[in-house]
Amino acid sequence: MGIAMSAVEPGIDLSICWQFGESTTPHVGLRRLASYGYEGIELWPDSLAAHPIGEWKDALAETGLRIFQLCPYFNFMEGQPKIDASRRILDEHLTIARETGCKRIRVFTGPPWGDGVVFAKDATGQQWADAIHGLTEFCDIASTDGVELCLECHEGSLMEDSPNTLRLIGAVDRPNLTVNLQIPFYAETWEYSVEQLGRHTTHLHIHNWTKGFGEGDITFLDSGAFDWQPVIDTLVKKYKRHVTLSLEHITHASKDDPWETAARDIHALTRIRMGL
């Protein structure tokens, strides 16, 4: 069994997914985000590859921002060679986590789109067994650095809905396997999803929609039709969680400037915090 994760006070962190183009340097981008009021970022492999880790470390130290989540792509669905490659990816990202102070690594069980997608309902017994065994091993490895592995609830994965996410969490049975509650789930209300997974949630991708919960086009938080406050209230007040709200899809399907989204949506995120 991996070591237990340290307890934190209920509350929220204000984060944003780094989608500002690889020509934006860590120093320039993080200074700007810090001036808006963000407390940290979420990083994908392309952004890490575009700039030396030393640049990220220096920019983080200068601005006081954090990397709240690193986002590699693991694959437990296509046999041992992919699992072995995933283990190397884990090792690489744990090295980055140690150097930057990051304590959370995102998990997919396989490709979330394109070739190789495996929906939970279609997964074989062997694929479930491989995912459970692999995640158990990965959690134990990560726990030595106090790092959690965070399941991104996403269509086309084993954690595409609450029952299957709970199946995975229960089978792995490690305290550092947590949930990125990326709602909506197919055929679930937000109330049901939070009820089922709230006690495991540490991270949440947040954006809004023009016509309501999961309906219409992705848009700015303050111009969308969905009210996020009850969701966050439930997580923080009822389930006593400390959750990173990480602003995602900030180009709104390439319709808007990501910096406009960053500058505008920080006000909505701040209002959510003030409303707790």
Measured CA to CA in angstroms, residue 104 lies from 135, 246, 268 at distances of 14, 13, 24
Q: Can you give the pLDDT at residue 8?
A: 83
* 3, pLDDT greater than 50: no
- Most distant CA atoms of the chain, gap in Å: 50
Question: pLDDT-derived band of residue 6, with 50, 70 and 90 as boundaries?
Answer: low
Top CATH class of 11-274 equals alpha beta
Nearest to 239 by CA among 186, 181, 163, 170: 181
Among the listed residues 34, 36, 129, the one whose alpha carbon sits nearest the alpha carbon of residue 83: 129
**Residue 12 forms beta bridges with which residues?**
243
Lowest mean pLDDT among 57-61, 110-114, 233-237: 110-114
- Looking at per-residue pLDDT, the higher value among 21 and 92 belongs to 92
- pLDDT of 183-193, one tens digit each? 999 899 999 99
pTM of this structure: 0.96
- Would you place residue 22 in the very low, low, confident or very high pLDDT band (cuts 50, 70, 90)? confident
Residue 230 has pLDDT above 60, yes or no: yes
| Cα 124 to Cα 118: distance, rounded to the nearest angstrom | 9
Asked whether residue 210 carries a pLDDT value surpassing 90, the answer given is yes
pLDDT digits (tens, 9 = 90+) for 131-180: 999 999 999 999 999 999 999 999 999 999 999 999 999 999 999 999 99
Q: Which residues of 101-123 are buried (b: 16+ CB within 10 A; e: fewer)?
A: ebbbbbbbbbbeeeeeebebeeb
Q: How many CA atoms lie within 13 Å of 144's alpha carbon, on the beta-carbon side? A: 8
Distance from CA of residue 195 to its chain's centroid?
Answer: 19
Average pLDDT estimate for 25-40: 98
32 burial level (CB within 10 Å; 0-12, 13-18, 19+): middle
* pLDDT > 70? residue 86: yes
With cut-offs at 50, 70 and 90, classify the pLDDT of residue 1. Answer: very low
Residue 2's pLDDT is what?
Answer: 39
Q: Of the ranges 30-44, 104-118, 123-137, which one carries the lowest mean pLDDT score?
A: 104-118
User: Between residues 221 and 6, which one has the greater pLDDT?
Assistant: 221
Bridge partner residues of 244 (DSSP): 13, 203
Burial of 25 (0-12, 13-18, 19+ CB in 10 A): middle
